[in-house]
Structure 1
Amino acid sequence: MHTSWLTAQSYGQLSNQVQGAFIAPLPAFEVIRISGADNRKYMQSQTTCDVDQLNADSFLRGAHCDAKGKTWSVFHLLEHSDDLLVVAFRDELNASLAQWRKFAVFSKASFEPCQDTFAVLGIAGEGAEQLIRQLGFTPPAGKGGLSRHNQSALLQLADQHYMLLMPKPDAITLLDSTLPLAAPTLWLKQHILHGLCYLEQPLIGEFVPQMLNLQAVDAISFSKGCYLGQETVARMKYLGRNKRAAWILQAETDEAPAAGCDIEQQFNDNWRRVGQVINAVNINNQLWLIAVLPNDITPADSLRLKSDSAPALQLLPLPYHLS
């Protein structure tokens, strides 16, 4: 994992054993700033979310698709004065940035990477609201809510699960405090258990947004105007064309599969490839992952990771309803 704003000493002190609420640096997540008179209009034409609904006290989760409706990135979008900030995992953010710049040549919109300006951290765990108050924030009103303090912004992604954008010097200072700090993997475990995901390089451009359950986490507007890939996204909803979804799975194993690794299902005496790992994390030989599988999969189906040890995978319930 890239650790550009973390010292080796700071990173080495982070643990997965923290109990209760914690703060975790997320150095693999980055930010870009979108400036210019057309920034909102341009992003409205490029993304699944309704940018017209964005305000100072909220953020939007959305996706950027290609013309065929395949997802380049899953991101979070918020206001920053007259500008917009986009937060996403580095691989997908770089993929979308290249496309946005290419098609923005006739728009008054400019794109600036902010890896030297902002740092991204995660906050999660029981009692997270108290920790948030210690940082000087008023807890957001609920999922999709945003609170600001000084030059920082706090996004509530789910219950007791947050993303924090801070000026880089403030984040570095925070890591030297006595607040409970944890490794990024502990936050990622919570991210997976909330049914949320991001795209790493092997899976960029592979899935339509509904295969990542983005319709279930308010990341797709079906009432906004046209945007890139809209025809495919709408067809999946109104014609029932989507046959796949993202599912949460767990296993007892020391393996930590990479994005794109295969998952197999047993049919009589044979095993057949039925899906792919999106994100995975292993803590103390407990594997949690989110994967794209058939949308009619059930806990009764026998699933395993395709690997040398082929550990059995247990299907866990999603924290939201699919539609």
Structure 2
Amino acid sequence: MSSVAWQQFLISQGAQFNPLLEATFALPETPAPAQLFDLSTNGLIAVSGDDAQTFLQGQLTNDIKQLGQAAQFTGYCTAKGRLLALFYAFSINNIIYLQCSRTLVPDLVKRLRMFVLRSKVVVEDVSEQFVMLGLASADSATPIQHLPLHPHQGSQTPLGTVIRLADSHGKQRAQLIIQAGQAEQAWQTLSATFSPASTSQWEALEIQAGIPQVYPATREQFVPQMVNLDALDGINFKKGCYTGQEIVARTHYLGKVKRRTLLATLPETTATPQAGDSLQDAQQQEAGQLVRVAPNQQGGWWVLAECRLEAQQAGSIFWQEYALAFADLPYLLP
């Protein structure tokens, strides 16, 4: 099933699509305790072949050898240690999948193929071969079937592969990876007990869980620690060399990280904040940039904001004339 056919199916199920190609559904009168989300704004890169693991070990920040049954965050850096992408990596049937913003996939596939050389590795864009769905359920709601015990663990189900994600905003969360040909049936089965909800609401849950993302507007803007990849166990400092490793290791071993990504809200604004937008301190000096943005159902916006910690501790940080209201991340920063 093509992405166009999948969109047409969701439209038949009551969806509309915004300019970001996020599925939007009408808000129910009362918040649904169990929700179903379309995650087609994510893309998938498949890396297979006898040398796939060894190849990726020399490209990514995390230890690919530890994938097994558990997914992991990992970064893909330039030689200068700047993130080209932030992947959520997992393995199914001995194929390694790298999930990221779909807008980045074509360029990343080309770049990864440049470094394959004589290795027995195949790098493919398989975004059209799978449909990814998100599930979120409050404790009192319909339980997510076949949910593994711990975050980032996966299991096989009759509908596809389910991976448990970090809880967010009091909800258990999971991601389903489904063969495209089975996606319509899976959606209809799940929507009998999980209420279809807008992709932007899933984005808000991701932000509340402190999960960053890299987009075209923020490519090569961050060293991994600036978006908390170390706090998310997305960097292995013992695995050996990979592209950008010297800079990432130096940042870790030679001093405290001076810029971090923090959770915050913005009030209702006249313009729409976007990832990559700059932030200023009270003296109108550069203070950071927005990493991830989603609407807040109570009004305004949820954001992840990469900030100079010194500026954030000294006073208010602003997007345009609006001050960010900072909240606690759900994990500790090193």
Length-normalised TM-score, structure 2: 0.86
Find 1:279's aligned residue among 289, 292, 297: 292
1:219 counterpart residue number = 234
Match of 2:105 in 1: 93
Structure 1 residues 95-244: aligned runs within 5 Å: 95-127=107-139, 130-133=142-145, 138-150=146-158, 152-159=160-167, 160-176=172-188, 177-178=191-192, 179-240=194-255, 242-244=257-259
Distance 1:245 1:66, change over 3 A: same
CA distance in 2, matches of 1:50, 1:264: 36
Task: Please tell me whether the aligned partners of residues 137 and 144 of structure 2 are also in contact (alpha carbons under 8 angstroms).
Answer: no
SS in 1 for 2:44: strand
AA aligned to 1:262 is S
Q: Please, which of 279, 304, 309 is the counterpart of residue 318 of structure 2?
A: 304
Written as runs of structure 1 = structure 2, the 5 A alignment for 1:31-50 is: 31-50=44-63
Q: Which runs of 5+ in 2 are unaligned?
A: 17-23
Tell me which of 86, 89, 92 is aligned to 1:80. 92
Structure 1 residue 297: Cα displacement? 5.1
- 1:321 matched to 2:332? The reply is yes
Q: CA deviation at 1:151?
A: 6.2
Give the C-alpha shift of residue 321 in structure 1: 1.0
Q: Hey, what's the Cα distance between the residues in 1 that align with 2:223 and 2:141?
A: 34
2:104 is aligned with what amino acid?
E
Distance 1:41 1:128 in 2: 44
Indicate yes or no: 2:306 matched with 1:295: no
Which residue, 20, 30, 36 being the options, matches 2:33? 20
Structure 1 unmatched ranges of 5 or more: none
Say whether residues 1:54 and 2:67 are aligned partners.
yes
CA distance in 2, matches of 1:131, 1:170: 22
2-structure distance, mates of 1:80, 1:142: 18
CA 1:128–1:90: 2 relative to 1, 3 Å: farther
Equivalence for 2:21: none
SS at match of 1:19: coil
Residue identity over aligned pairs, in percent, reads 27
Q: How many residues align?
A: 311
Q: CA deviation at 1:161?
A: 2.7
- How far 1:291 sits from its partner (Å)? 1.4
What CA RMSD, in Å, does the superposition of the two structures yield over aligned residues? 2.2
